[in-house]
C-alpha cells in the first residue's frame, strides 16, 4: 500500500524559487558569494525526519519510460532524446529512508543529435 504524502503548497513554491535562483546565479560572475544564503535555505528543508531534494535533470537522457518528468518533445525526432531545458525541477522527499518524488520535473526534450537527412 502506498502512503499518501501531503506537502503544503508553499513548500513547492519556495523550493522551485530556490532552483530558479540557482539557475540564474550560474550565469552571473562570482556566484559563490550567494552560496551561503542559498545553502542555508536548502538546509531548512533537510532535517533528520525529512529531506527535500531538488534534482535538476538537465542533459539527461529521456525516453518514454521516464516518469519523473513531464516532457514536451520538440523537433522532428522521437528517438535519442535528451532533456535540453528544465522549466521545473524534480523534487523528492526522503522520509525514514524511503524516497518519493513529490513533484515531477517539467522539461523540454529533443534529439541529442540531429537526424540524418
Residues engaged in binding another protein (CB under 8 A): 1-2, 64-67, 70-73, 77-78, 102-104
Closest CA to 8 of 102, 105, 106: 102
How far lies 39's CA from each of 22, 48, 74, in Å? 10, 17, 34
Q: Minimum Å distance from CB 56 to another protein?
A: 19
Q: What are phi and psi of 16, to 5 degrees?
A: -65, -35
Q: Minimum Å distance from CB 24 to another protein?
A: 24
Q: Which is nearer to another protein, 2 or 113 (CB)?
A: 2
CB distance 116 to 28 below 8 Å = no
Q: Which is nearer to another protein, 38 or 53 (CB)?
A: 53
Q: Which is nearer to another protein, 22 or 90 (CB)?
A: 90
Q: Minimum Å distance from CB 71 to another protein?
A: 5
Q: How far is CA 73 from the centre of its chain?
A: 17
Amino acid at each position: 500500500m502506498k502512503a499518501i504524502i501531503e506537502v503544503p503548497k508553499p513548500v513547492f513554491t519556495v523550493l522551485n524559487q530556490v532552483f530558479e535562483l540557482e539557475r540564474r546565479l550560474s550565469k552571473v560572475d562570482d556566484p559563490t558569494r550567494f552560496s551561503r544564503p542559498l545553502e542555508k535555505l536548502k538546509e531548512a528543508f533537510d532535517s533528520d525526519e525529512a529531506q527535500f531534494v531538488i534534482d535538476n535533470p538537465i542533459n539527461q537522457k529521456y525516453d518514454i519510460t521516464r516518469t519523473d518528468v513531464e516532457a514536451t518533445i520538440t523537433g522532428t525526432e522521437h528517438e535519442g532524446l535528451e532533456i535540453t531545458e528544465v522549466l521545473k525541477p524534480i523534487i523528492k522527499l526522503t522520509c525514514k529512508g524511503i524516497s518519493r518524488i513529490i513533484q515531477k520535473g517539467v522539461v523540454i526534450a529533443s534529439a541529442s543529435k540531429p537526424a540524418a537527412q
